[in-house]
Structure 1
């Protein structure tokens, strides 16, 4: 099953870093310019890995699920939102679909009734940090830990402990594996998205998803209000089109835990 690796174990970044240091040390007596090349390459590799939601350079990342079945999982970031969350829940109930909501701790505290509705309808909840700072991965270890732990504390009030963490904007860094290892969590990103910029770009959203989606995909969407009331109606039509067209493509929507073969949350201890 995917994702059985532990976040705290040595990663490709460790081995690449060690190799870069050894290579640099070996080259230094001969040519100092050449000696800098392995270290520069390592820095570039770290920068590239940070920007890829599917990269496993720093830690094990689950970005896809099982491909043996014709199924996908729908995940919604940034909520809950008083306008969009009830619309999603109604659309899911009509089609008997289970989704996963990666919520921010701050929004969960602001709208506790919506978190209860999500859980009461049988959907899953994951941790998306407390404040959803898009620059969170540039923060210190202490702040990164505090952001994720604060969201855990907020969600504990609903009787759950999320096991899955999705970083804001899908970015990772070298500090994240230790934080998640300490908290007993793992990292989930995505393999299919519409590049909707947090529902700021909803035109053609369904078409973008449906052209890209494949069995086993973890689909990224957003539970946050678009610009105006007309945009909300258009956004909902796009979401409903995704749901109905997936069924027409013989792709079942299953819960994230079923797709990846491991629990996404558990009862709070």
Structure 2
């Protein structure tokens, strides 16, 4: 089982120190303006890193399976919803596939029966923030920690405590590391996504997933209800195609098995 690493400087901190140590002697050269180059490159890295879900620039992020693990894990974000979660659970049960649901605390609090159904079917649950605020990583450290903690508290009242947090849209920030450390959580993103816009872009969903999927992937899909009955019917048809192919052609494993550590623990 993989364990937490002891605290250490992040790649961002190390890169920042390297940029500063490089800039100082350059400032005393004949062209002191060159001192701005390493600092500018560091700033660009800081601006780009939050939008790279596989990046561990600011904090350790798990985005795919542990070394040597060749299975694939299914994950569903943004739920639960009465109009979509039962459909997903029925299809997963039909194809006997495990999944992890990264739930939004506000939705979980409104629909505790769906959290109970997810757990009763043997799936696992992760923390996906309380309100799915797209700008959450720009909030203060206190607001960020309070948001994540609120979801932990909601789920603890339902008998489970997630060990992983998936930030909205996979965006990270330097503030996330201390917030997660205070709550004994780790960050998890994904290695395969198809930009389905929360089930708003579902045509050819199955083909798009199957074209990209690789052994060891953590696949990101969504638990949002499509916008209309027609789109819902298409979503169900695409899921049938996708899950059927996955069950026949790939080794779908619980997320805990893929990353070689538990995803959640029982609470209370």
| TM-score of the two chains, using structure 1 as the length reference | 0.95
Unaligned runs of 5+ in 1: none
- After superposition, the C-alpha distances for 1:88-124 in whole angstroms (9 at most, x for unaligned) are 1111111211100000000001111111111111110
**Matched residue, 2:256:** 257
SS state of the match for residue 253, structure 1? Answer: coil
SS state of the match for residue 234, structure 2? Answer: helix
**Matched residue, 1:24:** 23
- After superposition, the C-alpha distances for 1:105-149 in whole angstroms (9 at most, x for unaligned) are 000011111111111111100000001011111111111111111
User: Does the 8 Å CA contact 1:137/1:173 hold for their aligned counterparts?
Assistant: yes
1:183 and 1:204 map into 2 onto residues whose CA distance is 39
Unaligned runs of 5+ in 2: none
**Matched residue, 1:94:** 94
Aligned positions of 1:10-159 closer than 5 A: 10-30=9-29, 31-66=31-66, 68-159=68-159
Q: What value does the CA root-mean-square deviation take over the aligned residues? A: 1.5
Runs of 4+ in 1 over 6 A off after TM superposition: none
User: Does the 8 Å CA contact 1:7/1:177 hold for their aligned counterparts?
Assistant: no
1:142 and 1:6 map into 2 onto residues whose CA distance is 24
**Matched residue, 1:268:** 267
Aligned positions of 1:150-229 closer than 5 A: 150-229=150-229
CA shift, 1:5, in A, is 4.6
User: Does the 8 Å CA contact 2:97/2:247 hold for their aligned counterparts?
Assistant: no
| TM-score of the two chains, using structure 2 as the length reference | 0.95
User: Does the 8 Å CA contact 2:95/2:247 hold for their aligned counterparts?
Assistant: no
Moved more, 20-29 or 151-160: 20-29
1:96 and 1:7 map into 2 onto residues whose CA distance is 38
CA shift, 1:41, in A, is 0.6
Alignment length, in residue pairs? 267
